[in-house]
Amino acid sequence: MKKIDLTRVSLAINGGNPVRTDPWLDNITTGEEEKLAVMRVMDSGFLSLFEGSHTPDTPFSFNGGPEVQCLEDEWSDYYGVKHSISVNSATSGLYAAIGALEIGYGDEVIVSPYTMSACAIAPLIYGAIPVFADVELNNGSLDPKSIAERISSRTKAILVVHQFGIPADMDAIMIIAKKHGIKVIEDCAQAHGAKYKDQYVGTIGDIGVFSLNVNKAIQSGEGGVCITNNNNLAYRLRLIRNHGEAVVDAADYKNIVNIAGFNYRLTELQAAIARVQLKKMNQMNTVRLEYIDYLIDGLSDIPFLKPMLSRDKCYSTYYVMPIRFDKCSALIKREEFVTAVNAEGAKFYQGYVKPLYLQPLYQQQILYKKGYPFEAPVNSHCKMDYKHGICPNAEKLYFDEMLINEHIRPPQSIEDIKTILTILKKIYPH
């Protein structure tokens, strides 16, 4: 086969033929097994069996129906934990985790600026103040050094995100947490089945939170699961999930702090789908990592593209393929590169998420009337300056370096991954 001189190939942005014209396939992870699970629920006639009441003699009420309870048991078995508490979204799970830990006005929670917005707003829901620590450039997760610098006498928790499915530096983070007597919430929304050394992420801190959103590695459309080994935290999570204020009296539960009337309940339909998806997770992760390894190996020939690699002795499951773009080596701007690549039929996007503290909510410091909770008297000592530059690594990734490709998963094939590399290597000589 005659070797093609890529330096003479005309790029699509210059009128040449694109490498790919076929559309990329959506993240469809469901099939016949999920259809059968849905029909099992439909045939039962019960789409939900939750009730917001304390009925200890009824098998299905406060704790949900059979599909919900089976999902929670199977999730606990997989992760080797005592308790799994399903919720209607990982966002709800994060809110419930903050509430279960009795965090509120006068408290601070250290959060990541480079992740989904719910991670930072979860403390604010209960009146606590989010404190943004910076991230590590090589993987996007919280930097333990930056965490240590943000600790104060008011810090009650660290909300760690295992960004992109790459485990954060949990040894260092847990040392900091134990030193200061603070709690750790692990956001594992993008890290199903990932391991930090020999432990599943989500099992290291006090509470782990997983997402079952349609875009995640496994999904039920919407949904989430919280896990913990603490009996009291598990019960508090269930109270917050299901109208706890209507339950505590009959249950003779005394500590009603943060036990408000939320409805974070998962339906029987969602739980049935999630049970099937959990069984598929290992195989789907195996295929995803085959694609990732192939892509990382191929990118070694392109010096200005630096894939974010798994931490040593960790098992990363890669929600997306995160790549750092070195504009000094490339000699062009990131947006120019992305325009050229996408014209060839790839689908990269840049930046990921704008650092959260640059959102209007934090710039104006108002969520409720009168500037609350920021201006609440009990939070007067928690004055935050959410200015540009407080997390330089997060800003560098967003404004200058980060590239994301999300098509490194089924139903794409290895041939699709080869196409991505072909496109990148077509652009490189130019």
Q: Would you state the pLDDT for residue 7?
A: 53
pLDDT digits (tens, 9 = 90+) for 324-355: 999 999 999 999 999 999 999 999 999 999 99
User: With 50 as the cut, is the pLDDT of residue 1 above it?
Assistant: no
Task: Give the model's confidence band at 8: pLDDT under 50 very low, under 70 low, under 90 confident, else very high.
Answer: low
- Residue range 203-229: mean pLDDT, rounded: 97
- Residue range 76-82: mean pLDDT, rounded: 98
146 found inside a domain: yes
CB 190 within 8 A of CB 241: no
pLDDT digits (tens, 9 = 90+) for 275-311: 999 999 999 999 999 999 999 999 999 999 999 999 9
401 found inside a domain: no
Q: Would you state the pLDDT for residue 5?
A: 53
Q: How many domains does the chain have?
A: 1
- Chain centroid to CA 329: 31
Q: Would you state the pLDDT for residue 2?
A: 46
Q: What CATH number is given to the structural domain containing 248?
A: 3.40.640.10
- Boundaries of domain holding 242: 32-277
Task: Give the model's confidence band at 4: pLDDT under 50 very low, under 70 low, under 90 confident, else very high.
Answer: low
- Residue range 89-98: mean pLDDT, rounded: 98
- Is the pLDDT higher at 3 or at 96? 96
Report the DSSP pairing between strands 108-111 and 183-187.
Answer: unpaired
Q: DSSP secondary-structure letter at 84?
A: E
217 found inside a domain: yes
Q: Would you state the pLDDT for residue 6?
A: 52
Q: Which two tokens stand for residue 244?
A: 């706890």
pLDDT digits (tens, 9 = 90+) for 154-168: 999 999 999 999 999
Highest mean pLDDT among 202-211, 327-336, 371-380: 202-211
Average the pLDDT over each of 74-88, 107-121, 355-369, 380-394 and give the range with the smallest value.
380-394
User: With 60 as the cut, is the pLDDT of residue 421 above it?
Assistant: yes
Residue 301: CB atoms within 10 Å? 11
107 found inside a domain: yes
User: With 80 as the cut, is the pLDDT of residue 20 above it?
Assistant: yes
Percent of the chain beyond pLDDT 90? 93
Q: Which residues of 231-255 are buried (b: 16+ CB within 10 A; e: fewer)?
A: eebbbbbbbbbbbbebbeeeeebee
285 found inside a domain: no
328 found inside a domain: no
385 found inside a domain: no
Alpha-carbon distance of 392 to 88, in angstroms, equals: 34
Q: Would you state the pLDDT for residue 3?
A: 54
- Residue range 19-46: mean pLDDT, rounded: 96
The CA–CA distances, whole Å, from 159 to 177, 423, 424 equal 11, 38, 36
pLDDT digits (tens, 9 = 90+) for 146-200: 999 999 999 999 999 999 999 999 999 999 999 999 999 999 999 999 999 999 9
Task: Give the model's confidence band at 406: pLDDT under 50 very low, under 70 low, under 90 confident, else very high.
Answer: very high
66 found inside a domain: yes
Determine phi and psi for 390, rounding to 5 degrees.
Answer: -75, -25
What's the predicted TM-score (pTM) here?
0.96
